[in-house]
Chain A
Amino acid sequence: MARGAGALSRGAGLAGAALVLAMLALPLAAILRAAGGGVRPGPADLSALWFTLEQASLSAVLSVALAVPVARALARRRFAGRRLFITLTGAPFLLPVAVAVMGLLAVFGARGWLNAAAGTLGLGPWRIYGLHGVVLAHVFFNLPLAVRILLQGWQAIPAERFRLAATLGLPPGQVFRLLEGPMLRQAVPGALAAIFAICLGSFSVALILGGGPAATTLELAIYQAFLFDSDLGRAAVLALMQAGLVAGAAVLSLWLTRMDGSGSGLDRASQRRDAPGGWRRGADALWLVLAGLFVVLPLVALVLKGLPGLADLPARTWPAVGNSLVVSLGCAALTVTLAGALSAPMARWAEGVGLMPLALSSLVLGTGIFLILNPVMPPARAALPVTLLVNVLMALPFCLRVLAPAWARAEADHGRLADQLGLRGLSRLRWLILPRIRGPLGFAAGIAAALSMGDLGVITLFGTEDRETLPLLMYRLMGAYRTEAAWGAALVLLGLSFGIFWVFDRMGGRDA
């Protein structure tokens, strides 16, 4: 794969990787230095470790397993509103966690729609709180991500292959064995690792839906060590444990992932006329309806809850919207640039480094940066830039997952042609890469912008004088008994996150 990765690409990759590693290592080093070394984890920390592993593994496996039939249905069926369906089902991933949990509870909670419906049939009541609730919420958040990753895999199989298979009259089982199976073997480990890593960092979801201290995650233990015990040594050791788990998952997934075996095609949009009919059509429809309802109902609940609160929104909502937009757009631009730099060398090491931010929580990063800034300037003055920086790091792994394969594919499919034309450096980027990664690029920018928009992140850690973001405003409204207005703010946030994602995704144009 070294072909096409010229000196410029390698340079960009190295610079990007160095930047990311520095931004991760320095904060952690600052914490260890301030702590004067680590502390051995206690038994409570170890049980937190086990619960964290348990819930993250279950969540990852279930999300990906459910994503396979949904992504396949999306890949081989064409229907009115398919595009909208794909965009809408992406929404949970972009939502602020606290908001999404409330949406889930409106559907699955003790007084939720599901229990109300079950009650009229004489069933239930079902209790959402417990390990199953945590996993349910994580699947809600990550199913769309898994579907998108797998759908990209399906769409990367050249349409000619499917047509050939159809011409030869291959049954669906054979199509799976020859075309879909190899693609899944390549895409699934990456999806599993990404979702596993995301779920490792779960804190509010695990606690609220987990039902009590049995559902203590490492992230909560880190939070407690930092904020309640001011025990930096223990926090640093816990953060290292968490980082070790993520690194392990990343290495495992890179090891399991085979290189692209689907070969090159003619660069045409997949027009599948070969999809199997009969009961498989019905099964595909059922999967789509179920996944759609699962993802969309909580969103509908959020909209219904938010509408009455819109009238109560304070005047300062609009400056907060402005601040959030600035952070969000800045995050999108920076993250996509960084992800591009790491995609350019098309090397495993660059991708591996790009996934590393998943390993450190924003709390750890924020505290580390705080300790670095404190001797130089009052950290509160840097609240927005630091929020931006942390958001970029947090969004990078997702953007990279989307961008890197598309980049490598563009090179693999057309690199030889570009070499013959002598396309190099920036003109290669302009004429070869960018037109072919437009879709993933728009999607990646959308993810970064929306994730950043909804993130409360480190801004509360740094404290603010008067610059507030929309999530912070929502948090303040909730803290001041203004629950209804807080729901209004959540609805605005939902609309903005989703809107900005939609705009970027649309700018990317066709395909996933």
Chain B
Amino acid sequence: MKHLALATGCLLATQAVAETPVLNVYTYESFTSEWGPGPQIEAGFEAQCGCDVVFTGVGDGAALLSRVRLEGARSEADVVVGLDTALMARARATGLFAPTEASAEYDLPIPWEDPDFVPFDWGYFAFVGEAGAEHPTSFEALAASDLSIVIQDPRSSTPGLGLLMWVKAAYGDRASEIWEGLADNILTVTPGWSEAYGLFLDGEADLVLSYTTSPAYHIIAEGDDSKVALPFEEGHYMQVEIAGRLAASDQPELAEQFLQYLLGAEAQGVLPETNWMYPVVLPEGGLAEGFQQIVTPDKALLLEAGEADALREEALAEWRAALAR
């Protein structure tokens, strides 16, 4: 009898919860952390949807896609937030994502047309260094200098892969030569962004691969304007972070509403100072003062998703060959 009572209790409890629909959102770790945009976006959407938003944080963007693939159609996830343009072709190829109607008037430096994914924030990759020093203004000048740089491994980190694509987009067939020139500048290669940025902050290297928006964090959150991003003549490769909904979701309408919410003024207003990236829709009053002070590249580079994916193997082999010496 006791067991029966217990079982009934559990059943009732489950039903009570089931009255409020649950929207499961998978994202990368730093999005859902206390300092990321997750908590505010969760509260904001819950206030209007009458649902319970549950964020699950998984590693970084690449780990996130791998997780969704592993779970396949059984996945509990309704929405995935935090893949990027480098992963987009592979994400689409899984066939797990459903088309979305969500859209907005994007303030992106490139036109955006995609049936399956919406962009929610973006940034330019850049080398970040200390203000006041004489800095190189191109990859070639960097390679000729004796500055030390820390980069991330393109086999385990999205910024690392971004740099690979940046060199490829800017130099094409000359990419190998550029990497050979950079080889003696590269102090070391880290598995992820945080290790590299940590090494830079510790003074181990002169420059670190990060984003043009990184200095905005130091200005706004720490009142420290000693970090600057280096503008490069070749232009800067973009990372556009994207979100999509899963075809197997049991909450397709909520998922669609959530994607639209992500593009709305409220969520877009949260992103710059929590994710330290540019919003895809500029807020009416413009961005915070700290974002006005930072470098804005003249030229945006971005390979089309399919092309980027096709080039990845070759670019990786070039990178490995040039640096493995």
The judgment on whether A and B are partners is yes
| Chain A interface residues toward B at CB < 8 A | 34, 44, 47, 98, 102, 105-106, 109-111, 129, 203-204, 207-214, 220, 223-224, 226-228, 230, 314, 316, 367, 370-371, 374-375, 378-380, 460-465, 472, 475-483, 486
Chain B residue at smallest Cβ distance from A379: B71
- Chain B, 41-60, CB within 8 A of any chain A CB: 54-59
Q: Is the CB of B195 within 8 A of A480?
A: no
Complex: chain A residue closest to B28, CB-CB:
A479
**Chain A neighbourhood of B90, CB < 8 A:** 230
Q: Tally the A-B contacts, defined by beta carbons under 8 Å.
A: 152
Question: Are A479 and B156 CB-contacts (below 8 A) given A129-B188, A461-B63?
Answer: no
Q: What's the least CB distance linking A471 to chain B, in Å?
A: 12
Q: Is the CB of A213 within 8 A of B189?
A: yes
Q: Distance in Å from the Cβ of B161 to the closest Cβ of chain A?
A: 8
Q: With a CB–CB cut-off of 8 A, which chain A residues contact B155?
A: 220, 223-224, 228
Given known pairs A110-B204, A111-B202, the reply for A230 and B56 (CB within 8 Å) is no
Q: Is the CB of B59 within 8 A of A461?
A: yes
Determine the chain B residues whose CB is within 8 A of the CB of A483 once the complex forms: 197-198, 201
Closest to A381 in B: B76
Q: Are B33 and A460 in contact (CB under 8 A)?
A: no
Known contacts A109-B202, A464-B57; is A204 also within 8 Å of B70 by CB? no
Would A460 and B153 count as touching, CB distance under 8 A?
no
> Is the Cβ of A213 less than 8 Å from the Cβ of B324?
yes
A208 and B319 contacting across the interface, CB-CB below 8 Å: no
Once the chains bind, are A227 and B217 in contact (CB under 8 Å)?
A: no
Chain B contact patch, size range:
35 or more
- A213 partner residues in chain B, CB cutoff 8 A: 153, 189, 319-320, 323-324
Whether B221 is near chain A, meaning CB under 8 Å from some CB there, is: yes
8 Å CB contact of A224 from B35, B156, B199: B156
- Interface flag for B74 (CB, 8 Å): yes
**B92 within 8 A of partner (CB):** no
Give 6 CB contacts A-B under 8 Å. Answer: A109-B202, A227-B63, A230-B90, A460-B58, A464-B57, A475-B194
Whole-angstrom distance between the alpha carbons of A193 and B320 in the complex? 31
Query: In the assembled complex, how far is the CB of residue B12 from the closest CB belonging to chain A, in whole angstroms?
Result: 20
Q: How far is the CA of A230 from the CA of B309 in the complex (A)?
A: 14
**In residues 10-64 of chain B, which contact A (Cβ within 8 Å)?**
26, 29-30, 33-36, 54-59, 62-63
A380:B56 contact, CB within 8 angstroms:
yes
Distance (whole angstroms) from the CB of A208 to the closest CB of chain B = 5
Name the A residues within 8 Å of B296 (CB-CB).
Answer: none
Chain B residue contacts of A129, Cβ below 8 A: 187-188
Q: Which residue of A lies closest to B58 (CB)?
A: A463
Cβ of B257 under 8 Å from chain A: no
Decide if A374 touches B63 in the complex (CB within 8 Å): no
Is A110 touching B62 in the complex (CB atoms < 8 A)?
no
Q: How far is the CB of B196 from chain A (nearest CB, A)?
A: 9
Bound complex: CA of A212 vs CA of B325, how far in Å? 9
How near does chain A come to B241, taking the closest CB pair, in angstroms? Answer: 14
Is B29 a contact partner of A476 (Cβ separation < 8 A)?
yes
Q: Is the CB of A211 within 8 A of B36?
A: no
> Is B190 interfacial (CB-CB < 8 Å)?
yes
Interface bits B102-131 vs A (CB < 8 Å: 1, else 0): 000000000000000000000000000000
In angstroms, Cα B200 to Cα A102, docked, is 12
Q: Quick one: closest B residue to A133, CB to CB?
A: B188
